[in-house]
Amino acid sequence: MANLQGYVKPGSIEESLSSQIDFTRLPRHIALIMDGNGRWAKARNLPRLSGHRAGIQSVRDVVETCARLEIEYLTLYALSVDNWKRPATEISGLMRLIIEYMNLELDTLIRENIRFRPIGRIEQLDPAVQQELQKGVARTAACTGLNFNIALNYGGRTEIVDGVKRLLKESLAHGGQIPAVDEDAFTSYLYTAGMPDPDLLIRTSGEMRVSNFLLWQIAYAEFYVTETLWPDFRAQHLFEAILHYQRRERRYGGLSDSFAATEPLANQR
């Protein structure tokens, strides 16, 4: 069971919020669209990259909080396949930040038993970035705590196309036999093979968009949008998101329990 003792200060807003969380009903997988770095920087007359740099502290905070809460999976959206349209200096700056993050945080990830995995078209990234990411994957491979995914050069549609390509390649290797495919089988061709779908999808900065993130996997995720910009996002905001999630009734296309219970049997046929 999650233990936040010594992590949240007595009498703090974090303590008050976390004391309301039902630790037996936590989301297994939290997905997060980190948005608003540019606006955070603009409001301070700083270059956009300063917003991304400030966002690294939020990454640290959220990873640590999820680990303490014993959340099983956390997936952060760091770079989409469409972000290459941004100025080259912003992209190269982001790549540097990722290398820096891996260098600074890898020991902490290992110490905290956190398993790191990048998802996306990683093979198209700069070799120096790939090398750092691979090091992170290899050195945390035996960790059994939080599974921490970073989506990099990631697109939800791209992931589905890549999955179809893998499936076709496999079928060609088996003499062109088309395998029996259903929804469960197809998920094994996705970057997230073997992981549960996100239960909770958080987006910062007030934008109401999915932005090509985990399109297949979020079919039944609960969506939570906060006005908070990513560089300001801290444990407190994560607790708020989880509390909202715990107030939702998840129906997966079915009926609400209370509605089903009050409906006369004859009408249910």
Cα gap 157→155, rounded to integer Å: 5
Q: Residue from 27, 36, 120, 198 that binds ligand FPP (CB under 6 A)?
A: 36
Q: Residue from 129, 150, 200, 202 that binds ligand FPP (CB under 6 A)?
A: 150
198 scored as a contact of ligand FPP (CB under 6 A): no
Cα gap 210→197, rounded to integer Å: 15
39 scored as a contact of ligand FPP (CB under 6 A): yes
Among 93-101, 164-172, 175-183, 213-221, the segment contacting ligand FPP (CB under 6 A): 93-101
> Which of residues 61 and 240 has its CB atom nearest to ligand FPP in the complex?
61
Quick one: tokens of 20?
A: 């309301």
52 scored as a contact of ligand FPP (CB under 6 A): yes
CB of 160 to ligand FPP, least distance (A): 21
Quick one: tokens of 135?
A: 């090091």
35 is catalytic: yes
- The alpha-carbon radius of gyration of the chain (Å, integer) is 20
234 scored as a contact of ligand FPP (CB under 6 A): no
User: Site residues (CB under 6 A) for ligand FPP?
Assistant: 34-39, 52, 55-56, 59, 76, 78, 83, 97-98, 101, 150, 205, 230
Tell me the catalytic residues: 35, 83
